[in-house]
Structure formats: structure tokens, C-alpha cells
Amino acid sequence: MNIQQLMLKSSFIPLFFTLSGKSKMPKVAALCTTPNFYAQVTPSVRENASTRSSTTISPASAYIHLPFCRKRCHYCDFPIVALGSSSYQTDDDPRVRNYVELLCREISATKSEFGADRPLETVFFGGGTPSLVPPRLVSSILDVLRLKFGLAKDAEISIEMDPGTFDAKKMEDLMKLDVNRVSLGVQAFQEELLKACGRAHGVHEVYEAIEIIKSCGLKNWSMDLISSLPHQAAEMWEESLRLTIEAQPTHVSVYDLQVEEDTKFGMLYKPGEFPLPSETDSAGFYRMASRALAEGGYNHYEISSYCKDGFECKHNSTYWKNSPFYGFGLGAASYLGGLRFSRPRKLKEYTNYVHNLEKGMVDCHGDNDVDAKDMAMDIVMLSLRTSSGLDLQSFGKAYGGHLVHSLCRSYQPYIKSGHVVCLDEQRRALTVDECNDLLLSEDDNLRELRHIRLGDPDGFLLSNELISLAFRVISP
């Protein structure tokens, strides 16, 4: 799973992240081939915890969308190209070759107005099933990125891989290209759940994939799991968590199923109705994951992400810090010049987009006319997804101490209940009485109150309400 799919509308959203009312994801504009289109769109986010606008920061991350899958899973509404369930060797598949050529043309034609002094520090190949793409074609993409933007010597280069789509040779060939991180799409350890989801792999392929990764000596690898699947019982979820911990990936992502209309699940099921677990059961799955993974030595550093010490996903952290990034390929989203925008989701329209980009007919850059309330709301929303939380001092410098004071006061009932945690400069958790005393003060600076974060797991479970409350304070 990659967080690009969160930046757009995806079938999976980390638990209870869907917001209502004033709540929103960062703005993503549809692409247009006329330069003046973007003048009509209000950009949204700037870099978190900084008074510098993201329009002045050179992007250091690139997301590459490789849309190929053997078949479409029952929950999937991502932009993909289904090659056929028997597809494994894709070296000579013209659909793959032609797409990669088109993708490389897009990268080459992209105008960089941010200078070339900062090479890419992270590259993430997402999909789709990128492990279906031959390593030689992955190499050609990396060559174009290196030529266009440069690649840092120690760059984190991640690729999503599905069980049953790679062997040891392919893994070794990718590692020779400096791919140093793998995200393995396991989803479940029960054969019946994998079949019910329309997954192209079974449990046997899961164990084979884990063994291949370990035998090749790759240390930095993640495992994706999905909760709240149809007919998924608590015992099944507990087993998946236990087997994940036994496999010892250095990173685990846990997603809650979000049923989308235009999917097979969307036609078969209604949220909250059997055979889907209830909201209470889904919350129980989340608490179970938080507890089991903590006991297994994983840090819960983001609402849906857990890792061993030092193995946070650097690429995904780009999103949570509101840093700018490039996105390339079918349906991919970028954040440049203060504007988030996405490419077409259909291959024909994407082909036309690349053609127009090469002719200079596409403007992919925002300007400095950034709405302060939008920026503040996006910073709060993304910061509260992480264990680091919201840096109140930097937020106050950018938007005023009075807003910080009002925001913290609105959270007082949740501070008392433990859903919101206040931290001092040393990240010591303040007591409820200490927080109340600070908030009774007329001093808007609140120097002793440095961060607020959501409690784990119950604060994260209540994130919808807490983020919506913050939005009402920022934009009454």
C-alpha cells in the first residue's frame, strides 16, 4: 500500500480517517492542458512546522505509478491495467514496455523550476503490482530520474511487490539497481479471505515471498495487512498479526477496508452490514493491532504505520510533513508550488496528457497565493496522523498564538479523557492539571506546551471528530 492512494480517493483509508462536513483531504486538482487553469485553483498546503512556503522548497521525493496487475481485486478502485491472472513473465509484453516509455517521456518533459541542487532522496514505485515490471524497465525509469533530478547516494528506493510475482533472481536484480526497500502486499494469512478478496496469490505464495526477501538479505521491508474484510473474525485477525510478527518485517502497514461504489465489493456489500464487521469490531481490530505490534517491538509512528527503530518509511513521511513531491504515471498525484494535482486515471487520457506536456501545453505549478486557513487545516490534519503530533510553537509562529490557544482549549475535554496528549519541549507528557493551568493563562504563547498528539489507540480512533473540531476552530 502506498500513501499516494490516500492523496487521491482510494479503496483503503487508515481506520476512521474519512472526514465529513468541513473535513477534507488536501486538495487535489484534476489535470488540464491549459496553463491558465491553475490560476483558478486555490493551492492548499505548505511545509509543516515551517514558515517557509513549499513553493520555495525543491522536491526530494518522487512517486512512480506502475499500474499493472494480474487481475483487479474486489476492493480495488485504483488506476490499474489488468494483464491477465496468468501473467508472470512480462518482459516482452508491449503494454508494459509502451507504458514505461510513456512514463519516461513524462519525467523527461517535466519542467523543474526549483533548481537542481537537491537530488531525490526517496523514490517509491507503487501500483498496481510493480513487481510485475521487469527489472530492466525499472532500471530505465531510475536512469531517467537520475538524469533529470539526480539521486542521492543513500536514497530510499521502495517498490511494492505481491507474493507470487517475483523470484529470487528478480529480487536480486532489483537490489542491484539500488532498490533497498520492499512493501509486500500480504493482506491476510487465511486462504479463504484472500480468495474472497479476489487476490491472485495464496498463503503458500506469501511464505515463499517472505523467504525470498530474507534469503536475498534485504533488511528494510514492510508488510501490508487489511482489517474489516468480509467474514473476517477476530481470531483470523489475531492470527494474521501473530504470523506477521513472527515473519519479522521491519515495517507493518495496517489498513481498514473502505468499500467503494465502483468495485465488486461495492456491488456486494453495504458498510456496517454483515458479512462486513461492525464499526465496533473494526475498532477492536485496530486496538488489537496496536497492542500486538507494540508488544512485538514495533513503534506506532503514524495512524496506519508501525516500524522497528529506525525503519520509518522516509518516502511516506514526506506526505505527513507536507513536503513537496513529484508524482509520475497514471493517476499519480504531485504537490508542487503549493498545489496538489493528479494525472488522468485512464490510459488514453494519460497518453494525451504526456503529449501535451511535451508540447508545453500543461502547467503543473502553483503560485504563492496560498490560503492561510487551508494551510493551517492541512497541517493539523496531517500532523495529527503521526505520533509526533502538531508542533504548536512552529504552528503559532506561522498562524498566531491566539489560534494555538483556541485550538488547545477546544481539546480540553479530550485531554481530560486521554484522547489528546500534551507534551513539553522534552516530549514529556503533561498531566491534565498542568495542561489546564497553562490554558487558564492569558498568555497565548504557551511556551511550556510544545506539542499535542492523539493518544494511541483511542485518540487515533477518534481522529475524525478531533480533526473536524480543529477545522471548526480554524475556520468557524
Choosing from 282, 298, 321, the residue where a domain stops is 321
Q: CATH number for the domain including 411?
A: 1.10.10
The pLDDT assigned to 14 comes to 38
Q: Please choose, from the candidates 137, 156, 8, the residue with its C-alpha nearest in 3D space to the C-alpha of residue 68.
A: 137
In a domain, residue 341? The reply is no
On whether both 317 and 452 belong to a single domain, the answer is no
Q: Which residues contact 317 (CB under 8 A, 6 or more apart)?
A: none
Q: How many whole angstroms separate alpha carbon 377 and alpha carbon 185?
A: 32
User: Residue 465 burial (CB < 10 Å; 0-12/13-18/19+)?
Assistant: middle
**Cβ–Cβ < 8 Å for 331, 79:** yes
On whether both 163 and 91 belong to a single domain, the answer is yes
In a domain, residue 352? The reply is no
The pLDDT assigned to 378 comes to 87
Cα–Cα distance list, 292 to 126, 231, 236 (Å): 27, 21, 14
Three-class DSSP category at 30: strand
What is the bridge-based pairing of β-strands 251-257 and 305-307? Answer: antiparallel
Q: How many domains does the chain have?
A: 2
In a domain, residue 14? The reply is no
- Sign (positive or negative) of CA dihedral 386, 392, 395, 399: positive
The residue range of the domain holding 438 is 372-474
- What does DSSP assign to residue 231? T
Three-class DSSP category at 13: strand
The pLDDT assigned to 372 comes to 83
In a domain, residue 153? The reply is yes
**pTM for the whole structure:** 0.88
What phi and psi values does residue 26 have, to the nearest 5 degrees? Answer: -55, 145
DSSP E strands, 230-376: 251-257, 299-302, 305-307, 326-328, 333-336, 339-342
On whether both 98 and 235 belong to a single domain, the answer is yes
Q: CATH number for the domain including 77?
A: 3.20.20.70
Choosing from 321, 342, 363, the residue where a domain stops is 321
Question: What is the residue-level pLDDT of the chain in tens, covering all 476 positions?
Answer: 566 655 443 333 334 333 222 223 333 333 433 222 222 222 222 333 333 445 557 899 999 999 999 999 999 989 999 888 665 566 778 999 999 999 999 999 998 765 556 899 999 999 999 999 999 999 999 999 999 999 999 999 999 999 999 999 999 999 999 999 999 999 999 999 999 999 999 999 999 999 999 999 999 999 999 999 999 999 999 999 999 999 999 999 999 998 888 899 989 988 878 899 999 999 999 999 999 999 999 999 999 999 999 999 999 999 999 899 999 999 999 988 778 889 999 999 999 999 999 998 887 665 556 678 888 998 999 999 999 999 999 999 999 988 999 999 999 999 999 999 999 999 999 999 999 888 887 666 677 899 999 999 999 999 999 999 999 999 98
**Cβ–Cβ < 8 Å for 443, 412:** no
In a domain, residue 470? The reply is yes
In a domain, residue 251? The reply is yes
- What are 62's strand-pairing partners? 123, 326
The pLDDT assigned to 17 comes to 36
On whether both 157 and 296 belong to a single domain, the answer is yes
The pLDDT assigned to 322 comes to 87
Place of cell 494519460: 350
What is the bridge-based pairing of β-strands 251-257 and 221-227? Answer: parallel
In a domain, residue 111? The reply is yes
- What does DSSP assign to residue 442? S
On whether both 317 and 376 belong to a single domain, the answer is no
